[in-house]
Every structure is written in structure tokens, then in C-alpha cells.
Amino acid sequence: MLFSKTRLKLYWRLWKTVKTNYGYYFYLLRRRQSTRIRKILKQGRMPSSGSYFPTKLNLRILYDCNLRCKMCGQWGETGSYFAYDKLKRRKRLDAEVIDRILGELIPMGLKMIDMEGGETLLYPQFDELLYRMGKRNLYVKFVTNGTLLDKFAQPIVESLVKAVTISLDGDRDAHNQIRGEQWAYEKTMKGLYALSEMKRKLGKATPLVQIAFTMNRHNGATALRNLCQDLRGKGLADVLAIKLTPIFVPDQEEKK
């Protein structure tokens, strides 16, 4: 037999994933063009249309956040954003500026938008921003803590957002302790259920839902195992990404 049943199942799953999230896989396949593009730029020339440079644009749309996660490099215990004055903390990337940037880069081959904050869902008229991006046929993804996700489930699915990364750092006790709010876990889970239900209601396979678990000194294997139990069999997530953070340096007592 040329292919085992296990390998055929693997290929079938891969094909379904590619079909569902073609934009991201297209981006990965075209990434090898970056070396050639860099050479063109060093020569003082501009890449031609269709050369897919730049293929991906990262947008930090605001600084504000509604949580103060302990390990966060922005608003955590040692976060850099506390050094900003109040005026800068309240700044937003204007929608007009975003539209102008997209208008300049799409003809050059822009395919993917990745948005982050702060907390992205605090951006004013975030739903309108998603609809405008959806009309441009871009692969759109963003990062969120998920506490406001239930309010935006419909525009997220309708605007054909391709992927959402949601931060969850353990079970209820661990997550709330890290986030500094006792309501954080419940609101994020409510958002996950709302997004899953909206995808089912509208008959959409996207967005791909990725859970980002950041392992740090405030959680660990037990919190991760409990989180997996909370998510298992509910169709709430497609991917679980485990990250390690070196942001906190243990003090002398913890080293002992």
C-alpha cells in the first residue's frame, strides 16, 4: 500500500486546513521571496507589482488595555507603557491613516494584516475597521485577551477575519490571578462560546481560533492541564500555542 491510513488522514487534515486558511499558507509559501526583494531594495530599486513585498503588515492600533497581566511587557508589573504620558497612552492609530497605508501597500502585494495593542477590541469602531479590511480581500488576524469578544463575534465572522489569537493562561484561578481581575476568565470563555456559536450560525469555518498560553512563574503544568480540560470537546479552539516568557527574572528567594 503506497500510503498508510494514518498518513492519508494527516494529508486530509492538512488539505482541509490549507483550504480553510489559504491566505496564511499563501503567505508562508511566498516568504522565500524576501531574499530576492531585499537585494532589489539594496540596489535602490522598487519591487514590481506582484512581487509580494511587503506581504504582511503589523499594526499596533492602540496602547490601552483593560487588564494588567503580571507577565506583560506592556502593562505588567515591569511594563514599558507605564513610562508613557497620559496623552500617548490614549493615542489610537487613525482609521484614515490605516486606509492610506493599505492603499499604498496593497498594489505592492500586501496580503496579510496582523493587529495588536494594547487590547485590540478597545479600538473605537473596531467592527467598522474589520468590515473595511474584509472588503479588501486581505488575510486579517488580531490578538485579544477575549474579554470583549462576545460583543464583536458577529462582525468578526461576517468580515471574514481569518484568525484570532486569544490569551488564556490557565484555568479560572490561575488565569484570574495573572490577569488581576476575578471576572477575566469568565468573560473570555463567554467570548469563545459566542464566537463559536456565530461561526455555526453563519455557516463559516473562520476565523481560526488560537489559544495563546504564556507559561511563566505564576502558572505551570497543572494550570495548562486544567485549561485543556476546560476546552476539550467544546469546539472552542483550533490551536493551542504554548509560549515561554523570560520577562521576569526570579528574585534571590525564588532562585533558592
State mean pLDDT over 193-213.
Answer: 93
Closest to 123 (Cα-Cα) out of 112, 132, 135? 132
Closest to 210 (Cα-Cα) out of 24, 29, 31? 24
Categorize the per-residue pLDDT at 1 as very low, low, confident or very high, splitting at 50, 70 and 90.
Answer: very low
State mean pLDDT over 169-177.
Answer: 94
In terms of average pLDDT, the best of 58-62, 67-71, 80-84 is 58-62
DSSP state of 92: B
Specify the pLDDT at position 73. Answer: 77
Cβ atoms of 224 and 170 closer than 8 Å: yes
Helix axes 149-158, 126-135, angle to 10 degrees: 20
- Residue-range domains of the chain with CATH: 1-48 (no CATH), 54-255 (3.20.20.70)
For 179-195, give the DSSP string. HT-TTHHHHHHHHHHHH
Categorize the per-residue pLDDT at 39 as very low, low, confident or very high, splitting at 50, 70 and 90.
Answer: confident
Of the listed ranges 186-195, 204-213, 224-233, 244-253, the least confidently predicted one is 244-253
Question: Taking 80 as the threshold, does the pLDDT of residue 219 lie above it?
Answer: yes
Specify the pLDDT at position 255. Answer: 45
Closest to 112 (Cα-Cα) out of 33, 49, 14, 28? 28
Whole-structure pTM value: 0.75
Helix axes 184-202, 149-158, angle to 10 degrees: 30
Cβ atoms of 130 and 163 closer than 8 Å: no
Distance CA 118, CA 89 (A): 9
Residues 87-105: tens digit of each pLDDT: 888 889 999 999 999 998 8
Residues 43-66: tens digit of each pLDDT: 888 766 655 567 789 999 999 999
Helix axes 172-179, 221-231, angle to 10 degrees: 120
Specify the pLDDT at position 248. Answer: 47
